[in-house]
Structure 1
């Protein structure tokens, strides 16, 4: 079966989002949350298979991205607003609950939503970013770790310089970022330790200068989609998600991980620098997430998990969902 992916504009939480949709309304909802610097297109290999498996799939271009509304204040990208947008999408779909699948920043929002609104999430799949609670405000932790050295999240805190750097040549910026964090660039995808003063984000990524030279998982047409999205939106909105890390921490630190009562799954690539060489991150997730059913590591895959290995990713995702459906069926027969 080949389900068509459609796109519609949805009013939610005071703004409008472009939402990519597949499957039948009324079927169980799967909400796909993209990361940075991506958009809903990053789920292009998942929407059809999920719809074929009997799910109503919603993949929004989230607040600040692509053609969705992009408020012009940093505060508008606080997790309260990001989560509110998504609750509105569920309400629009008539869904009391959804399975939430989040990659990169989408995973961070999914973990926060699981503590903020556990009653709206019946299952959670985090991709690339495990649940690792901060011991203090994030920028303070990062400043302690990096000192006078460059780190992109700290660089992103100031409005202006990151936008100017990345918007100078959007195609080159996206090409270099996407290439640098790809599994096939490993191990050279590591961030070099350079002084913070005078260093930009693109100084610490490694990629061919020629934007026509692409990693195997990314076609020229794929890159065109991302370029068009960011030429439309710019980078202020997407980077402002990072500028709310401390405010998000303050707003959610009182919410215990014990609230995450839903079955959870983690999927990542072995060459993803978010977890590679950092076993403490996976250990923290295993210790803190109450009902972690699966942790799947895809060999040789980098940060763009579901795009780099769609077959392996879909097998892990659909297997997790099928197990949950089997358990639900067994419970219903009792």
Structure 2
């Protein structure tokens, strides 16, 4: 395994947060070393927060303290290939089966048999897959702005509008060109992917510089391999999610049709959908109510 690192001028570990109870550490799971940010009582109910692209652990900064204050243990990994985590070589290392196995072993590394799992964007695809592939390991599932994998696959087959919105998935399959496009001009295209997909003001300049620093650690190649690995990933053996599931969705997501959120609930035995008008793909940054909904959803289990 190899990791390509430069020396960013901004730290991208838990020191980004003023809360000194939040810590950075490293955990070896599934043959890869992951940087994780932890907070809360190690014996409290466990919550795993999974970021997407082009995010890193810091994307959950607004949810960590509220979850801890509500009595949860919070673990937020930089997923493989991102920020301070190890970046294995090869596309196959980024199949959903591998990303899901990372999460399962991370839960076990906490001395737990199961956890609540919450995912946004690509982290949502990982969360769906963990729940479908290893249902006993997920207590409650939280999904932010990403559809059930079957819904996404079926919609791509039937909706020209969604095919157009998913143009980047196809672009990332091209060798070398995506890496060149995203690296050039100080990763300005990566910054643009944050700004174009969010409402104005969601990412200020200080935050953007922190993202630039995170991207410098492993570069863009492993992140693009997420999408190449996604195309090579097999489907889980089951379609129906048995765990209580909350889906939160910003209706102004420019990449994903909101109709997929409604269809995704149909694949959940016990699913709830909360739509947030005028919120973007980055709904958990733009609406405090998302954190409140997640707390309500997770606390139902901890009180039972």
TM range (shorter): 0.7 to 0.9
Taking the aligned partners of 1:149 and 1:306, their CA distance within structure 2 comes to 21
Taking the aligned partners of 1:170 and 1:39, their CA distance within structure 2 comes to 18
Displacement of 1:110: 0.7
The one of 253, 276, 284 equivalent to 2:263 is 284
What does residue 202 of structure 1 align with? none
Aligned length: 286
Secondary structure of the residue aligned to 1:163 is helix
What does residue 31 of structure 1 align with? 48
What does residue 105 of structure 1 align with? 122
Specify every segment of 5 or more residues in structure 2 that has no aligned partner in the other structure, as ranges: 1-18
Secondary structure of the residue aligned to 1:252 is coil
CA RMSD of aligned residues (A): 2.5
Residue by residue over 1:280-334, the C-alpha shift from the partner in whole angstroms, topping out at 9 and shown as x without a partner, is x133212221110x2111231101121222x2211111111223334x1xxxxxx
Specify every segment of 5 or more residues in structure 1 that has no aligned partner in the other structure, as ranges: 185-214, 329-334
What does residue 181 of structure 2 align with? 165
- Return the TM-score normalized by structure 1: 0.79
The one of 27, 35, 50 equivalent to 1:10 is 27
Displacement of 1:271: 1.1
What does residue 14 of structure 2 align with? none
Residue by residue over 1:185-214, the C-alpha shift from the partner in whole angstroms, topping out at 9 and shown as x without a partner, is xxxxxxxxxxxxxxxxxxxxxxxxxxxxxx
Distance 1:287 1:225, change over 3 A: same
Taking the aligned partners of 2:43 and 2:127, their CA distance within structure 1 comes to 22
Taking the aligned partners of 2:204 and 2:216, their CA distance within structure 1 comes to 18
Taking the aligned partners of 1:318 and 1:136, their CA distance within structure 2 comes to 30
Residue by residue over 1:33-80, the C-alpha shift from the partner in whole angstroms, topping out at 9 and shown as x without a partner, is 001001000000110110111111000000000110001211110112
Secondary structure of the residue aligned to 1:100 is strand
Residue by residue over 1:174-233, the C-alpha shift from the partner in whole angstroms, topping out at 9 and shown as x without a partner, is 321111011x3xxxxxxxxxxxxxxxxxxxxxxxxxxxxxx3222222111110011111
Distance 1:145 1:181, change over 3 A: closer
